[in-house]
Amino acid sequence: MITIKRLSQCNLEDAVVAWNKGFEGYYFDMTMTVDLFTRRMILEGLSPSLSVIAYDKERPIGIILNGIRLINGKKISWNGGTGVDPEYRGKGVSKKLIEAVLAIYEEENVEVATLEAVKENVRAIALYEKFGYKTVDELVHLQNMDGLSKDAFLLENGQYAFKKGLPIDASKVPFYKALVPWQTQWNNARDGESILALDDNKAIVGYAIFKRLFNEEGNLQSIILLQCESEPSNNRKEDIVRNLLRMVYVPTDFHVVRTAANLSMSNKIVRDLLEKEGFKVKAKQVFMVK
């Protein structure tokens, strides 16, 4: 008999077993240890009391992680990962997990529920659609591991002033995009940075949110772009974006992994500029909202 429990009622070992089995054979390596799992829950704002585990008797066979935060005055939930043990796929476990999660959302007065699904995972997308989720955007994960050209994103003419700060600074920009995949929201940019682009009148015309990751020796390993936007009515959008991307990804002669995470396919300027600089598609996802 399949039962559903909140993660807060279970031990961490069961959660990790459910996670690792649930993502066995997945599109990316999602394997976790107890320490890594705990760290991810804390750093990414995921809640044990809002997350669920499916059991077959005493055996953990499925999991959904969840978080909720207030965005523009609304309670917004996000799905931080859904996985089912390969032996139990196609047997209704995902359906039971989603039903339990939606009941929790109702208890918590969630107004908007969001999730991401790998674009090729048509079965999962179809299941979410049956529960009322709709695809509102397509996302692409771009990566460059070969280094940038010396003049990457460089403008022949025209420069902007920049103001460096924290991710929360970008969230106060009038055209900040709040309802985006949870990994790219300012709240999830722990130890992250922001850059604001200013025009001659010191008005904010663009922003970027990103993270730089270092190894234990203090050497830069990777740069992850989370958001890069220009003021919607500005007629120099490409110039603004070029400047921001150069600020994020310099120095160009450093051979580190450069990534753009969950970039909206509609953000054509950013996507085209990155692809011209050798960024390759690593994954495609859909952003779904209920």
Residue 133 within any structural domain of the chain: no
Query: What secondary structure, in 3-state letters, does the chain show?
Result: CEEEEEHHHCCHHHHHHHHHHHCCCCCCCCCCCHHHHHHHHHHCCCCCCCCEEEEECCEEEEEEEEEEEEECCEEEEEEEEEEECHHHCCCCHHHHHHHHHHHHHHHCCCCEEEEEEECCCHHHHHHHHHCCCEEEEEEEEEEECCCCCCCCCCCCCCCCEEEEECHHHHHCCCCCCCCCCHHHCHHHCCCCEEEEEECCCCCEEEEEEEEEEECCCCCEEEEEEEEEEECCCCCCHHHHHHHHHHHHHCCCCCCCEEEEEEEECCCHHHHHHHHHCCCEEEEEEEEEEC
What is the number of structural domains in the chain?
Answer: 2
Residue 237 within any structural domain of the chain: yes
Give me the CATH number covering residue 241: 3.40.630.30
Q: Which among 76, 52, 53, 51 is positioned nearest to 66, based on CA atoms?
A: 51
Note the pLDDT of residue 250. 86
Residue after which a domain boundary falls, among 56, 89, 110: 110
Q: In which domain, by residue range, is 15 found?
A: 2-110
pLDDT, tens digit, for every residue of 35-68? 999 999 998 899 999 999 999 999 999 999 999 9
Note the pLDDT of residue 156. 63
Q: What is the mean pLDDT of the chain?
A: 94
Note the pLDDT of residue 28. 73
pLDDT, tens digit, for every residue of 149-199? 888 998 766 678 999 999 999 999 999 999 999 999 999 997 899 999 999
d(CA 79, CA 32): 17
Q: What is the mean pLDDT of residues 119-141?
A: 96
163 in the same domain as 106: no
Residue 130 within any structural domain of the chain: no
Residue 118 within any structural domain of the chain: no
243 in the same domain as 183: yes
88 in the same domain as 147: no
193 in the same domain as 145: yes
The answer to whether residue 29 scores a pLDDT higher than 80 is no
pTM over 0.85: yes
284 in the same domain as 146: yes
145 in the same domain as 257: yes
54 in the same domain as 176: no
